[in-house]
Structure formats: structure tokens, C-alpha cells
């Protein structure tokens, strides 16, 4: 345990699994009170148990980031229970069923944008409103190296939605830094989560494919992604505004 984020109240959307869970645990280990949010209660409960087992302070709120009413309630609940909101990691996202652009199902397209883009816009909408009225704060949004930085056939909906997150993040950063709200984003590449496996792959096959495709020769660990989020959320990056930090082992270099 350290105190880099002591007395900080932090919200992590999509905090029940993978990058969201790892980042929530890291924030808690460094002194923060961490609230995780998502649609499924069981993974959120597990994240909170892990935080508490490590000696940290955790809480969860069930919420759907595609719903304006849910996100408004989420931010209000965090503030009511814990007395404020200082940092937010807007991480909730989805991939959707891959397909070539002209063969995408309408519902897949709409859902991917609802979660990945509208979800982050709604989160920022209510987080910024609270932070502006309470002395400022810090927001980190999760985009992807597939999108603004790189493209992949079959991933049009995901790429377009994440490119939108990158641009939205930087535009909002310019709008609100004068109010003390500092906004940045991350764009992870292949990371050691279930999403890094293609259909039918085991770990050996995944690692062999990635070894040839990624200059560094491996996927990222969730801890490596969390390291970047914590840096952008900390005072160590206090002069960094509107940046989209690519963390992809050189894939889009």
C-alpha cells in the first residue's frame, strides 16, 4: 500500500474484469477509495472483495453506461456515499461481432457506439459537471490502438467508435482544462485478456501470432495498462492535457 492517491475518490467504469479490475486494484493499493461500476453485479462484487482483501477500500454501483439516467445516478451515488469524485477512469467498452463494413448488423453497430462512444460521453457529462463545481478533477478515457491510430479489417464499428473516443477526449480536454478538469486518454493494443484470443486459439497459438504481429513480441499485461492510467491520473502528469497515450508495443509506431 502507498499513499499516492490517498483521500481520493475514484470511479472506474467497466471495473468488474480485465483492465478495469486491475486498474481499480492498483488505485486502491495506492490509497484511494475506489468505486467500480458495470452492468453485472457478480464481477463488481469480486473486484470489491479483491480490493478489500488487499487492505483497500472498495465499493460498487450497478449501472449501464448507455443510459443517461443510470450514469447520472452513478455519479450522484458515488458523491453521496463517499463525499466527492476526484478521478474517473472511463473504461467500459465492447467489441461487438466482427464483420466487414457492408455486412455489419445494424444492432451491432448501434450497440458498439452506444457503449464505447455514447457511454464515455455520458460519463464525462456527469463527471465534469461535478468536478467543475467542486474544484476540478482528472479523467482518463479508454480508447484503443484500433481506431484513430490503426485499422483492422472486420472491425469497422469498433475502430470508428474508438476513434471517436480519442477525438472526443481531446476536444473535451481543451474545453474544460480552464475549469481545473484535466482529461486524457489511453489507447491500448493487444492485452492479456480474453479479448486477445481469436476463435479457437489457446495461449500458445495466441502468443505465437502476437510474436510476429507486435514489434515488442508479446501482449501487454493488464498491470502495464494500469500503470499508464495511474500516471495520467496522478500529479506526475499534471502538465499533460488532451493526450492519447498509445500502449501497443510498437504496433502502430
Task: Measure the CA–CA gap between 32 and 89, rounded to whole angstroms.
Answer: 13
Q: Which residues contact 85 (CB under 8 A, 6 or more apart)?
A: 9, 10, 11, 75, 78, 79, 127, 130, 131, 134, 137
- CA-angle at 66, arms to 63 and 71, nearest 5°: 45
* H or E element that contains 138: strand 137-142
Given the residues 126, 158, 176, 239, the one annotated as active site: 158
User: Would you give the DSSP letter of residue 17?
Assistant: S
Q: 239 an active-site residue? A: no
CA-CA distance, 24 to 7, in Å (whole number)?
15
**Grid cell in block for residue 151:** 485499422
Beta strands in 143-243 (DSSP E): 181-188
Residue 147's CB is within 10 A of a number of other CB atoms, namely 24
Whether residue 75 contacts residue 128, with contact meaning beta carbons closer than 8 Å, is answered with no
What does the DSSP 8-state code read for residue 235? G
Cα gap 121→113, rounded to integer Å: 11
SS3 125: helix
DSSP per-residue letters across 18-65: HHHHHHHHHHHHTT-EEEEEES-HHHHHHHHHHHHHTT-EEEEEE--T
Beta bridge mates, 184 = 140
- Residues with a known catalytic role: 158
Amino acid at each position: 500500500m502507498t499513499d499516492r492517491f490517498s483521500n481520493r475518490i475514484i470511479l472506474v467504469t467497466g471495473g468488474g474484469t480485465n483492465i478495469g479490475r486491475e486498474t481499480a486494484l492498483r488505485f486502491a493499493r495506492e490509497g484511494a477509495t475506489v468505486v467500480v461500476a458495470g452492468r453485472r453485479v457478480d464481477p463488481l462484487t469480486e473486484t470489491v472483495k479483491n480490493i478489500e482483501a488487499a487492505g483497500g477500500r472498495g465499493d460498487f454501483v450497478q449501472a449501464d453506461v448507455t443510459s443517461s439516467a443510470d450514469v447520472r445516478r452513478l455519479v450522484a451515488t458515488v458523491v453521496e456515499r463517499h463525499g466527492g469524485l476526484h478521478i474517473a477512469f472511463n473504461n467500459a467498452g465492447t467489441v461487438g461481432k466482427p464483420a466487414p463494413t457492408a455486412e455489419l448488423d445494424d444492432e451491432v453497430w448501434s450497440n458498439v457506439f452506444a457503449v464505447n462512444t455514447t457511454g464515455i460521453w455520458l460519463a464525462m457529462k456527469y463527471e465534469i459537471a461535478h468536478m467543475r463545481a467542486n474544484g476540478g478533477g482528472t479523467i482518463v478515457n479508454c480508447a484503443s490502438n484500433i481506431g484513430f491510430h490503426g485499422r483492422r479489417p472486420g472491425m469497422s464499428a469498433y475502430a470508428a467508435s474508438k476513434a471517436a473516443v480519442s477525438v472526443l477526449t481531446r476536444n473535451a480536454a481543451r474545453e474544460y482544462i480552464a475549469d481545473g478538469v484535466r482529461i486524457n486518454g489511453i489507447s491500448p493494443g493487444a492485452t492479456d485478456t480474453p479479448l486477445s484470443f481469436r476463435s479457437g486459439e489457446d495461449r500458445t497459438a495466441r502468443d505465437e501470432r502476437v510474436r510476429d504481429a507486435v514489434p515488442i513480441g508479446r501482449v501487454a499485461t493488464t498491470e502495464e495498462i494500469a500503470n499508464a492510467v495511474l500516471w495520467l491520473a496522478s500529479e506526475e502528469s499534471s502538465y499533460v492535457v488532451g493526450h492519447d497515450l498509445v500502449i501497443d508495443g510498437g504496433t502502430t509506431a
